Amino acid sequence: MLSFVFRKIESRKWMVISLLIGNLLMIAIAAASPMYSQAVLQRTLTRSLSDYYVEHGSCPGLIVLRGGYAAAGKKEEEFRKTIRAAELMEEMREELDVPALFKVTQYYKGNVKAVHEVAVEGRKNELTIRIGCYSDQADHIKIVNGDMYSGELDDHTFDVIVNERTFMDQNLMLGEVLELSEVRDPEKVPYRIRIAGIFENSQEQDEYWIGEPGLWRDVCLMDEGLFQELFANAERMDTGFNAEWYATLDYLQMRGDQAEHYLSVLERYFKIFDDMGYKSRTVNFKSTMETFVANAQKLNITILILQMPIFVLLAVFIFMVSGQMLEMEQNEIAVYKSRGADKKQIVLVYLLQSVLISVLGIVGGIPLGLLMCRILGASNAFLEFVKRAALPVEIGPRVWIFAGAAALFGVCTMVLPVIRYANVNIVAHKRGKNRKSKSPWWQKLFLDVILLGVSLYGLYQYNSQKEYLAIKVMDGASLDPLLYFCSSLFMVGAGLFVLRIFPLLVKIIFMIGKRWWPTSLYVSFLRIIRTKSNQGFLMVFLILTLAMGIFNAQAARTINANAEDKIRYSAGADLVLQEVWKDNSAMLADNALGGGAAGQSELVYEEPDFGKYQTLEGIESVTKVFVDKKVNVSVEGGRAQAMLMGIHTKEFGETAWFKDSLLPVHWYEYLNAISQNSRAILVSSNFRSYFGYEVGDVLTYTNANNDSMRGIIYGFVDYWPSYTPITWEKGKDGVYAGVSNFLIVAHLSQLQSSWGVTPYQVWIKAEDSSQFIYEYAEESGTKYSVFLDAASELIDLKNNPIFQGTNGILTIGFICVLLLCVTGFLIYWILSIQSRTLQFGIFRAMGMSMKEILTMMVNEQIFITGVSIGAGILVGILTSRLYIPLIQIAYTSADQVIPLEIIRDRSDYARLFGVVGLAILICMFILGWLISKIKISQALKLGED
Amino acid sequence: MESIIAGKGIKRGFPMAGGDTFWALKGLNLEIEKGQLAILRGRSGSGKTTLMNILSALDYPTEGDVFFQGNNIAKMNEKERGLLRRVKMGFVFQSVALVPMMTAYENVEFALRLAKYKGNRKGRVEECLKMVGLGSRLQHLPQELSGGEQQRVAIARAIAHRPEILFADEPTAELDTNTGLQVVKIFKDLAASEGVTIVMTTHDTGLMEIGDVVYQLEDGEFVA
């Protein structure tokens, strides 16, 4: 049986290779998805944990449990708890399965009263200190003065060491003794401490410590064993103490795929700790993990959804190729069947063949998936790659599951059609061959119309709930699978629909010139019209391929460009800064306390030097922008609150970021308009729609100090740099509601001359990177109360795993599409030529020239391929138009501030056409070669069977 | 009678594994006169199809010349031969070899298109189909016709453009004796009514009496 399968494969090696390519890609993509999401999530997790470190200055892997023993109630039980807590901490850590850098137990007695034995003038005689010890503390400190503590109790006196700061702050002296009046032995004799030495932490950066020991002001460390003997003695249990158990986990070894496990372990143990009454805990990585889990789910869903169409396309491809192969082998199958092979045996042969292909697919697909992951990891935007640290890719169990599922799916796609064929014996086969080619089943069922209907209905539904969609995204939902599915359905439906009307179209063209068509065109037209199902599959495939390619490209570009535009628009300029201004508010406050004594009563600011920005290296242009978010406007029937922006028109125009397409005319026109009059203002369009203002009306607005200004309206704007027309706010009932924002743009000089110079923002257009401002801020020590860096936000965006994943998947999808396009195309045509060898032989025998046969093929290409390409592009553009506005909602997080623009990049088309063109060229070349190779006499011989 | 096609010392060799040459035709001479029904007979492998392919400008002889109406077609290029085949020759093949997506009518018309037939195409097509006894089933696709009917369409197609000579390679091989006889009879009638020369191969001894001239082939040589 197996050798039979091998022989069969050998005789159809090209088909089998194509099938292998299809399976390989499918398995690779299936395997790449869990590999990629795991890896990118790992990278994200490690990065956000590191960010935590930078932001909080505390190791993200830290887990702290605080408890203690009060020496009251059921003493034994209470005391045992303190021992149990340490054990539980260790058990928890083991279950978390992250190696700990340090495991520390701290025992201490806080608020201990200590009295100097020797009173010194000028210092407090009584101190409040804390006495304690950390396990293994000796390894992490060094004595800088005096001696290390001894572990002995000598006449109720024990040694302690302190840090420099405590030593200084508390006015201690080396070797002096203090009495702990309230800490006594069982005989009620108070203990005493001797300041034996001064320590500091042995390494500057030591994750052993929580916080910086150098900053302690009241801590005395003593010998650990002695502490236990005196204060935490299981034999005596006579005094209380506090305890802190902490473990510093190695956060670099935390695994993204374990995040949920970590959280569930923590939750379980927290419950136990709760029951013990130990309610004070700190887990630094907890919130990071929680956000991570939510994001991971979102990412996994997004990737899966985005991959779906690629899978469908691959399945169609495999189906197409195996269908072609079956078509070719139909004769043989029918013969076997007639010779007594039963259905099972025939299916088994194909099953063996498919399994073989799938196994090879897995063997090659997983490394290919690995390669894809590398590509994904380096994707920056659509078809754009950067050098990044390699992704920590792993081949985990999920990868095997996904790859296995894909392989199984491939086997099913390859074997299922066989069952139909396996029922047909030679008689039925020949009979079927003689039957007229009928409309395919989907045409009879009007599947194309149904699919289009369903997808458009979905589109309509979603369009009418656009706001609801946006709100769902604000609440953390990911891309809606159904919506994305609708776009795929639309493509399939439209593709099939084109197929339905295609023969009509060709028929019309054919009829028009039936009398005049040269023989070659005549033949090819007839062929196109009469043999539907054969080319139908190729056409649908080509249409889908191109449509999906275009859709992928446009979706990715739009999502990226839109998110970037939104960042730029919302910021207003590359850099938006506001320095902390010095003012006389402190003096005013003093004055007020002092009963309003004579002097200044007005808030006066000290304007920082603005000129320095003009000379700073790396700035292209800079301008002052005064922003007051709350000015009152008296409008008809009440007051409205608006954002006031004071600008220098020329500089503002040069500095701010704005998209020309947002306003009906170029926005410079608006700036030019108000530059004519110092009292001229621009206001947001809602002043017109809500309150009926017109151009030329005068608007009065008042600031918080009740100073009012009047401006003449010179124009209305829907959009303005950094202006958000509507913000969505979640109400108390949890429902989001849109709030309209009002904007007034006035001249800065006018505002300053009336209201004085008050803190304004500095808007900067950077020449290149924004790095210079960080250097400047650090060097000069300038402090900013507002600091917006659009460039760094853009970098964050590009590092966002969802964006990265989306770009990566769409890119891979696009590349797959290109690959499939070429392979599918070649297979179809080569097979089509091979199966028509006899016909070509006849044509040649009847005196048709090579040129005529080639013309015939070219004509077929133009109609079948050309129409498919055209239709594919059309369908792609249409799908993008219809569905991208909805799909991108999932990526703009909250409010789509500026209107969406579908981005079409010519280079994508160039790539697509380049590849398709190349495929056609290769194909024509092979065709020409194949045709020229056909020996007429041999071709005729071929026809004899 | 004037000769329409003549072969002089036709040899055809096929390279074999090991560098040897297999000679399918070993130097044949023949001359067929206009209006004759010539039969090339022989067992399979005797070289009759090879000879026919060379006579009909489908294949080149390794050595020797073929004169068609006085022109040496063995020395013509593909283009000239194509034109010749298209205009002056007609073909009927063993396997029916109709264009599957064309109806009976279109198949015949196709030959007229190829030969750039100037007259009334529709009339000629119908005439030819009537001549082979297929007046009615014009709009049927080949697969809807029986084997005999298909072969008749093929003959109609082969003669439609009024070729000088008609080549038929085992036209009866796939037909039962009765139908085969009918087909041959059509040939005979055609030769008479259209004045077309017919060269036909067969392995069927029963058909031999019908031919005006019979060439018996064995291992690439004529035997008496």
DSSP assignment string, A285-324: THHHHHHHHHHHHHHHHHHHHHHHHHHHHHHHHHHHHHHH
Strand pairing category for A708-717 and A141-146: unpaired
In angstroms, the first-to-last Cα distance of chain A is 26
Looking at residue A223, what is its pLDDT? Answer: 92
The identity of residue A3, as a single letter, is S
Give the DSSP H/E element, type plus range, for residue A859: helix A850-860
Looking at residue A599, what is its pLDDT? Answer: 52
Q: Would the CB atoms of B82 and A845 count as touching at under 8 Å? A: no
pTM of model > 0.80: no
Which parts of chain B register pLDDT below 50?
A: none
Looking at residue A220, what is its pLDDT? Answer: 92
Collapse the DSSP code of B223 into the 3-class scheme (helix H, G, I; strand E, B; otherwise coil) and give the result: strand
With contact defined as beta carbons under 8 Å apart, do B154 and B115 qualify? no
pLDDT along chain A (945 residues), means of 10: 77 80 87 82 85 83 88 82 88 90 89 86 86 90 90 88 90 89 86 91 84 86 89 81 90 87 92 88 88 83 80 80 78 76 81 90 90 78 71 82 90 82 64 56 81 88 76 69 82 88 85 78 79 72 85 84 85 88 76 55 79 84 90 82 91 89 88 90 89 88 86 90 82 77 91 88 87 84 83 80 78 78 76 74 78 81 83 90 81 64 78 78 77 65 43
Q: Would the CB atoms of B113 and A943 count as touching at under 8 Å? A: no
Q: Which among B49, B101, B113 has the least Cβ separation from residue A530?
A: B101
CA-to-CA dists, residue A729 to A475, A477, A732, B91, angstroms? 12, 17, 10, 84
A522/chain B closest Cα distance in angstroms: 9
**What are φ and ψ of residue B129, in 5° steps?**
-65, -35
A348 burial (CB, 10 Å; 0-12 / 13-18 / 19+) is middle
- A511 contacts on B by Cβ (under 8 Å): none
B117/chain A closest Cα distance in angstroms: 12
Domain residue extents for chain B? 34-60+77-223
- B113 contacts on A by Cβ (under 8 Å): 519, 522
Q: What percent of chain B has pLDDT above 90?
A: 8
Q: Would the CB atoms of A847 and B94 count as touching at under 8 Å? A: no
Which three-class secondary structure string do you get for A94-142? HHHCCCEEEEEEEEEEEEEEEEECCCCCCCCCEEEEEEEEECCHHHHEE
- Contact residues, chain A to chain B, C-beta under 8 Å: 433-436, 519, 522-523, 526-527, 530-531, 838-839, 841-842, 844-850, 935-937, 940, 943-944
Looking at residue A936, what is its pLDDT? Answer: 63
Domain residue extents for chain A? 1-58+297-435, 60-283, 437-574+790-945, 616-782
With contact defined as beta carbons under 8 Å apart, do B172 and B202 qualify? yes
* Shortest CA distance from A838: residue in chain B: B97
> CB atoms < 10 A from the CB of A350, how many?
25
Helices A259-276/A286-338 angle, 10° precision: 140
Helices B121-131/B147-160 angle, 10° precision: 140
Beta strands in A666-783 (DSSP E): 680-684, 698-702, 708-717, 726-730, 736-740, 742-747, 761-766
- Contact residues, chain B to chain A, C-beta under 8 Å: 49-50, 53, 56, 58-59, 78-79, 82-87, 89, 91, 93-95, 97, 99-102, 106, 110-111, 113-115, 141, 143-144, 169
CA distance A473 to A467: 10
Class level of CATH domain B34-60+77-223: alpha beta
Sign of CA dihedral A317, A322, A325, A326: negative
CB pairs under 8 A between A and B: 77
With contact defined as beta carbons under 8 Å apart, do A652 and A763 qualify? yes
Q: Would the CB atoms of B85 and A839 count as touching at under 8 Å? A: no
DSSP assignment string, A785-838: EEEEEHHHHHHHHHH-HHHHHHHHHHHHHHHHHHHHHHHHHHHHHHHHHHHTHH
ipTM of the complex: 0.80
Q: Would the CB atoms of B110 and A519 count as touching at under 8 Å? A: yes
CA distance A868 to A824: 13
CA distance B213 to B219: 20
Strand pairing category for A736-740 and A141-146: unpaired
Helices A2-11/A343-377 angle, 10° precision: 60
Looking at residue A263, what is its pLDDT? Answer: 92
Q: How big is the CA angle at A738 (ends A734 and A740), to the nearest 5 degrees?
A: 145
CA-to-CA dists, residue A86 to A79, A103, A261, A296, A831, angstroms? 12, 10, 21, 33, 74
- B59 contacts on A by Cβ (under 8 Å): 935-937
Q: Which residues contact B211 (CB under 8 A, 6 or more apart)?
A: B37, B38, B39, B200
CA distance A832 to A830: 5
A647 backbone φψ class: left, alpha, beta (φ>0; ψ -120 to 50): beta
CA distance B130 to A308: 59
The structure tokens listed for A677 are 């009059």
Looking at residue B2, what is its pLDDT? Answer: 77
Looking at residue A945, what is its pLDDT? Answer: 35
Nearest to A136 by CA among A221, A218, A232, A241: A221
DSSP state for residue A148 in the 8-state scheme: P
Nearest to A555 by CA among A74, A889, A919, A930: A889
Looking at residue A429, what is its pLDDT? Answer: 60
- B102 contacts on A by Cβ (under 8 Å): 526, 530
CA distance B91 to B159: 8
Q: Would the CB atoms of B101 and A847 count as touching at under 8 Å? A: no
DSSP state for residue A476 in the 8-state scheme: T
Looking at residue B96, what is its pLDDT? Answer: 57
**What are φ and ψ of residue A617, in 5° steps?**
-70, 135
Nearest to A683 by CA among A625, A739, A725, A637: A725
CA distance A14 to A21: 10
